[in-house]
Amino acid sequence: MADNRTMPLQFAPFSSFLDGGFWHQLCHNKVNVYGLDDSARPINASYYNGDASGMPCRMSLEHSSFDMSSKTPSQYFRAEGHLYNKNTLEDFKNTDKKQLLDQEGAQVWKAITSGAALENTTQLSRLLLLTFADIKKYHFYYWFAFPCVCPAQDFTLVRPPQTLLQVFTPEQADQILERYREFQSRGKEGVAFFIIVEEADTLSVDTLASTERHMQKGHKVLFAFADPCTLEQHPGWPLRNYLALILHHW
């Protein structure tokens, strides 16, 4: 059996979920806003980390995904990106998807290296949606992608994955959960990436932007995130860019 240290860390990819309201709003925008302009349009989506075991990681879009000022539902986490709605099926098929991915990926890397993603962690979760809407026939074609930063070498496991209760006592786990709820309640929207801080016998939850301050004080810092994956042995897709950020800054 292979040593865990030689085993690449495998990430569960997102599945896309677009409800009927999204397509209805896309048709409206195509007729009343976009016209023949097929340039990039900002959109937002959300994912959830409380699904039952066996459910796929889902990135959801709805009618409000076109409104960048819309609020993400409670206990969901926001992702942002761009929509490219093409005018013909031929344009849709001939679009250079790699070029679009490279453009979106470059934005992720810029947010990581500039430190912007430390202040606004939503920038770690990006999406790219290419569409063609045949309004007369009400047929829709789409292609989804979730850009990530690829390291020079694969991330590998140094030990098998462990649950929270395998690392902390039940009392400590309850304390983390309580502090996590308090942390999330302070913001306008859910924060998917954060840190757990251990100081003496006290555990707390804080922002990524506060990491350096805690390290300078000698506090033990654990990097944490809201994982949409329900598999015990594999993390979800958002961890890829999170690890790239951690590797770059620390």
What domains lie within the chain, and their CATH numbers?
10-145 (3.40.140.70), 164-249 (3.40.140.100)
Q: How far is CA 47 from the centre of its chain?
A: 8
User: So what's the pLDDT on residue 3?
Assistant: 52
| Residue pLDDT, tens place only, 171-215 | 999 999 999 999 999 888 899 999 999 998 899 999 999 999 999
User: So what's the pLDDT on residue 141?
Assistant: 97
- The yes-or-no verdict on residue 149 having pLDDT over 80 is yes
- Rounded to whole angstroms, the Cα distance separating 167 from 176 reads 12
| Residue pLDDT, tens place only, 213-234 | 999 999 999 999 999 999 888 9
- Rounded to whole angstroms, the Cα distance separating 153 from 100 reads 24
Residue 234: CB atoms within 10 A of its CB come to: 15
Pairing relationship of beta strands 14-18 and 57-61 according to DSSP bridges: parallel
pTM (2 d.p.): 0.92
| Residue pLDDT, tens place only, 83-141 | 999 999 999 999 999 999 999 999 999 999 999 999 999 999 999 999 999 999 999 99
* Rounded alpha-carbon distances, angstroms, from residue 85 to 49, 101, 170, 179: 29, 15, 50, 42
Structure tokens at 96: 């250079």
User: So what's the pLDDT on residue 14?
Assistant: 94
User: So what's the pLDDT on residue 53?
Assistant: 85
Q: How far is CA 71 from the centre of its chain?
A: 16
| Residue pLDDT, tens place only, 150-175 | 888 888 888 888 889 999 999 999 99
13-27 average pLDDT score: 94
User: So what's the pLDDT on residue 58?
Assistant: 92
User: Position of tokens 């890397």?
Assistant: 109
Is 197 within 8 Å of 203 (Cβ atoms)?
yes
Phi, psi of 240 (to 5 degrees): -60, -55
| Residue pLDDT, tens place only, 29-73 | 999 999 999 999 999 999 999 888 888 899 999 999 999 999 998
Q: Which has the closest alpha carbon to 48: 39, 38, 58? A: 58
Is 127 within 8 Å of 146 (Cβ atoms)?
yes
For residue 132, list its beta bridge partners: 86, 141
User: So what's the pLDDT on residue 73?
Assistant: 87
